[in-house]
């Protein structure tokens, strides 16, 4: 990289500058590989720089007291309050309508989601829309994979129409106003760029999704094609159900233990009706003494203590969980994961919730095995199956190393949905059977919408700061019961905020050592052939690449000092590169890891990594081709 940026020009840098470059590299590699959490990496890097004396304690911890960080936390809590009040549930009724045509559904969904995303955090909005879109796809006989990625892109691009639409615009705005207190960044000014991007994105989605997005049937929820009567061992719908193979209908492997309550002990699997379960196939059996029957046939008998393994869709799993005497276990071997929770094969039974949950990139269980993170006692839930990149993971689930974006089927204790729906540990938590929206308090709904609308108006008119209005809005929500204190605490994304706060210290080191200045000079030289557009293009490209590798919050914080130095050296209005920075950090389309909503739709859409590259990379180029000219013509 340094060679591409004219390595010879870097030889004059001081030892502290090279040490800072090494620290940035040492922090970046583990984050890219996903083996260390971003907050640990970035705060660790800031600590090393502090020990070296490159930055002061005030520099290292400046992010913790930064107004933009506090504002992000408040806005995410407010979004959770809106979701809790039911304020978002009126949106789905107006979104997809009665049309059964794919492009009409895509267009209605895109416009509605983009409009709402402009004034609120897009994560809860996407969480609300996912089951709605799935239900519409089932009713309209459409492929859900043609809608999930457009749903995420609509939320991302719509968020660029106002300064509060995404967390990255809030961070960049806060950093800019700290560095230049006289700089004015109006509420709707970024919409000069965001609105054309949103329109272009909608056109791109409607036209090119039919060629660039895969055709996969409904992946979540009941109602998909099931398995009729057949021989055990055949996969659902005739598929083999091999672990690790991509599937069109989401396939789960579930193990259950035969206990004394089961009424068919001593009978064959055919007589017990286990070969006629719609949506399920019996694929394995293990006796209580450990003897394995990997491909049980119709005449195989059932004994007390047998461990039965089934493969099939979510509807079949739901039916299986309701059969008396068959109790779920957390892995194919019922591994020793019974600590502090209900023992294997016991529990609340029918009172439990069947939940599908997508692990967030910032979850504390990432890079830990299901057994080592004490999943059962931690969440009062049993892991029945795990999907990754559209494929079911086989083997012992207790040994599965959890990764961000994994989709888990859980049998959880009552209250799991309410407790973790807005938690930063999970990108998405939904009822596996997509029940109808629960009854809402109309008074809470009116209060939530009224207070939130007042917050938007006061901030857009510059009567009060965003942090002030957001804090007042949040306390009104808490005082009136719109949301509980527990929901407020669960909605705060601690890992994200700590990662961004840690990046503040590293960004300061880039500035004081001269690395940011040298990077700006090198970028200007590389993009000099573009003339006036060069500085803006340099910021957009560098930020977009960094966002694809790291989180968007860390990317915007690390790139900010480089952006400011680049504008100063080029002698241009800082707003041009600044808005390019906001767009580049807020619009990652080519990977599932660069933006939270991309992770959220990966499981429901059954997407693999290359699906994002194939559909998202052209849109990334379109966004760049629109952003750079507008920034140059309007602000430079």
Strand order in the sheet with 307-312: 292-293, 280-286, 307-312, 252-258, 326-328
Distance separating alpha carbons of residues 486 and 423, to the nearest angstrom: 10
Q: Report the C-alpha gap between 417 and 488 in whole angstroms.
A: 15
For 429-444, what is each residue's pLDDT tens digit? 877 765 444 556 788 8
**d(C-alpha 479, C-alpha 93), whole Å:** 29
Cα 232-233-234 angle, rounded to 5 deg: 95
Q: Is the pLDDT at 390 greater than 70, yes or no?
A: no
* pLDDT per position as a tens digit, 297-329: 788 889 998 888 887 776 677 677 778 888 777
What's the length of the chain? 636
Instruction: Give the lowest-confidence range in 329-343, 363-377, 482-496, 603-617.
Output: 329-343
Give the pLDDT mean for 18-38.
Answer: 82
CA distance 491 to 418: 12
pLDDT at 341: 38
* Cβ neighbour number for residue 318 with a 10 Å cutoff: 15
**Strand ranges (E), 82-124:** none
Contact between 411 and 384 under an 8 Å Cβ cutoff? The reply is yes
Give the mean model confidence (pLDDT) for residues 202-212: 94
Q: How confident is the model at residue 275 (pLDDT cuts 50, 70, 90)?
A: confident
What percent of the chain is predicted at pLDDT more than 70? Answer: 83
Q: How far apart are CA 334 and CA 398, in angstroms?
A: 8
In whole angstroms, what is the distance from residue 259 CA to residue 349 CA? 13
**Which range, of 185-189, 197-201, 339-343, averages the lowest pLDDT?**
339-343
According to the per-residue pLDDT averaged within each range, which of 46-55, 113-122, 294-303, 525-534 is highest?
A: 46-55
Q: Is the pLDDT of residue 337 over 50?
A: no
Mean residue pLDDT of the chain comes to 80
Q: Which residues pair with 252 in a beta bridge?
A: 312
Q: Is the dihedral of CA 296, 301, 305, 310 positive or negative?
A: positive
- Token pair recorded at residue 319: 């039916």
Q: Indicate the helix (H) or strand (E) that contains 605.
A: helix 596-605
533, 537, 540, 545: CA torsion to nearest 10: 180
Structure-derived torsion over alpha carbons of residues 191, 197, 200, 205, reported in degrees to the nearest 10: -120
Q: What is the pLDDT of residues 505-520, one digit of tens each?
A: 888 898 889 888 888 8
Distance from C-alpha of 427 to C-alpha of 601, rounded to nearest angstrom: 9
In the three-class reduction of DSSP (H, G, I as helix; E, B as strand; rest coil), residue 369 is classed as: strand
Q: How many whole angstroms from its chain centre is CA 296? A: 39
CA 246 to chain centre: 21
**Whether residue 251 has pLDDT greater than 50:** yes
Say if CB 632 and CB 576 are below 8 A apart: yes
As a whole number of angstroms, the distance between CA 226 and CA 280 comes to 8
Assess whether pLDDT exceeds 50 at residue 209: yes
DSSP-H helix ranges across 414-551: 416-420, 442-460, 466-480, 485-491, 494-512, 515-526, 534-549
pLDDT at 244: 38
Confidence of residue 252 (pLDDT cuts 50, 70, 90): low
Of residues 429, 333, 444, 448, the one with CA closest to residue 381: 429
Structure confidence at residue 411 (pLDDT): 78
pTM exceeds cut of 0.75: no
Look at residue 245 and tell me whether its pLDDT is greater than 70. Answer: no
Closest CA to 159 of 91, 95, 75, 65: 75
CB atoms within 10 A of CB 163: 23
Which string of DSSP letters, residue by residue, matches 202-250?
Answer: HHHHHHHHHHHS------SSS-S----S--TTPPGGG----TT-B-SS-
User: What's residue 23's pLDDT?
Assistant: 92
Backbone angles phi, psi at 289, to 5 degrees: -85, 5
The predicted structure's pLDDT at residue 100? 74
C-alpha distances in Å from residue 579, one per residue of 71, 96, 152, 563, 564: 19, 32, 21, 10, 12
As a dihedral over the C-alpha atoms of residue 369, residue 370, residue 374, residue 375, rounded to 10 degrees, the angle is: 150
Tens of pLDDT along 592-610? 877 888 888 887 888 888 8
How do residues 526-570 score in pLDDT, each as one tens digit?
A: 888 888 899 999 999 999 988 887 778 888 988 999 999 999 988
- Could you tell me which residues come within 8 angstroms of residue 449 by beta carbon, excluding any fewer than 6 positions away? 82, 85, 87
pLDDT at 578 over 90: yes
Domains of the chain: residue spans and CATH: 7-33+506-635 (no CATH), 67-217+442-491 (no CATH), 223-328 (3.30.70.1450), 349-433 (3.30.70.1450)
HEC sequence for 164-207 = CCCHHHHHHHHHHHHHCCCCCCCCCCCHHHHHHHHHHHHHHHHH
Provide the pLDDT confidence category of residue 226 given band limits of 50, 70 and 90.
very low
Q: At 313, give phi and psi (nearest 5°).
A: -90, 175
Please check the confidence at residue 363 and state whether its pLDDT lies above 60: yes
Strand order in the sheet with 426-431: 391-392, 381-388, 407-412, 353-359, 426-431
pLDDT at 355 over 90: no
pLDDT at 219: 40
Tokens representing residue 555 in the block: 């990317």
In degrees and rounded to multiples of 5, residue 145 shows phi and psi of -70, -15
Q: Evaluate if residue 261 carries a pLDDT over 70.
A: yes
DSSP 461-476: TTSS-HHHHHHHHHHH
Distance CA 327, CA 348 (A): 10
């Amino acid at each position: 990289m340094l060679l591409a940026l004219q390595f010879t020009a870097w030889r004059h840098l001081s030892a502290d500058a090279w040490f800072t470059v090494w620290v940035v590299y040492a922090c970046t590699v583990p984050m890219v590989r996903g083996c260390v959490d971003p907050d640990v990496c970035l705060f660790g890097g800031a600590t090393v720089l502090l020990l070296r004396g490159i930055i002061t304690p005030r520099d290292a911890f400046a992010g913790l007291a930064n107004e933009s960080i506090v504002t992000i936390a408040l806005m995410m809590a407010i979004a959770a309050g809106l979701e809790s009040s039911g304020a978002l549930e009126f949106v789905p009724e107006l979104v997809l309508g009665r049309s059964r045509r794919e492009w009409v559904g895509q267009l209605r969904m895109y416009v509605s989601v983009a409009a709402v995303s402009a004034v609120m955090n897009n994560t809860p909005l996407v969480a609300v829309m996912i089951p709605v879109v799935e239900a519409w796809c089932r009713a309209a006989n459409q492929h859900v994979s043609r809608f999930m990625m457009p749903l995420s892109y609509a939320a991302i691009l719509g968020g660029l129409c106002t300064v509060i639409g995404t967390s990255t615009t809030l961070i960049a705005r806060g950093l800019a106003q700290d560095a230049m207190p006289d700089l004015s960044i109006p509420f709707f000014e970024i919409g000069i760029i965001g609105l054309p991007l949103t329109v272009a994105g909608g056109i791109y989605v409607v036209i090119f999704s039919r060629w660039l997005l895969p055709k996969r049937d409904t992946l979540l929820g009941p109602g998909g094609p099931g398995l009729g009567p057949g021989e055990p061992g055949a996969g659902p719908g005739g598929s083999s159900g091999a672990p690790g193979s991509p599937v069109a209908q989401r396939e789960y492997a579930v193990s259950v233990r035969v206990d004394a309550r089961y009424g068919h002990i001593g009978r064959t699997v055919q007589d017990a009706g286990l070969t006629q379960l719609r949506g399920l196939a019996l694929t394995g059996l293990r006796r209580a003494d450990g003897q394995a029957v990997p491909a049980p046939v119709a005449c195989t008998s059932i004994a007390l203590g047998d461990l039965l393994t089934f493969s099939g869709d979510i509807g079949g799993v739901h039916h299986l969980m309701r059969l008396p005497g068959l109790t779920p276990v957390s892995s194919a071997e019922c591994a020793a994961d019974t600590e502090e929770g209900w023992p294997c094969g016991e529990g609340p039974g029918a009172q439990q919730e069947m939940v599908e949950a997508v692990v967030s990139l910032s979850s504390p269980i990432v890079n830990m095995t299901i057994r080592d993170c004490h999943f059962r006692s931690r969440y009062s839930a049993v892991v029945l199956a795990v999907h990754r990149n559209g494929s079911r993971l086989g083997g012992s689930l207790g040994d599965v190393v959890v990764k961000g974006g994994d989709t888990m089927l859980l049998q959880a204790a009552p209250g799991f949905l309410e407790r973790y729906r807005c938690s930063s540990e999970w990108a998405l938590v939904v009822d596996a059977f997509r029940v109808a929206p629960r009854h809402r308090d109309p008074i809470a709904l009116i209060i939530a919408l009224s207070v939130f609308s007042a917050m938007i108006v006061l901030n857009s008119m510059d009567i009060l700061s965003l942090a002030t209005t957001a804090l007042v809005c949040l306390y009104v929500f808490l005082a009136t019961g719109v949301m509980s204190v527990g929901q407020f605490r669960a909605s705060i994304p601690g890992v994200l905020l700590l990662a961004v706060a840690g990046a503040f210290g590293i960004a300061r080191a880039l500035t004081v050592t001269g690395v940011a200045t040298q990077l700006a000079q090198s970028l200007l030289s590389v993009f000099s052939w573009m003339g006036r557009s060069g500085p803006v293009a340099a910021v957009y490209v560098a930020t977009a690449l960094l966002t694809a590798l790291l989180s968007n919050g860390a990317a915007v914080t690390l790139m900010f000092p480089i952006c400011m130095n680049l504008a100063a050296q080029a002698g241009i209005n800082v707003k041009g590169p600044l808005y390019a920075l906001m767009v580049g950090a807020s619009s990652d389309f080519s990977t599932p890891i660069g933006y939270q909503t991309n992770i959220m739709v990966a499981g429901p859409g059954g997407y693999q990594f290359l699906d994002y590259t194939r559909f998202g990379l052209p849109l990334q180029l379109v966004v760049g081709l629109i952003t750079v000219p507008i920034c140059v013509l309007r602000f430079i």
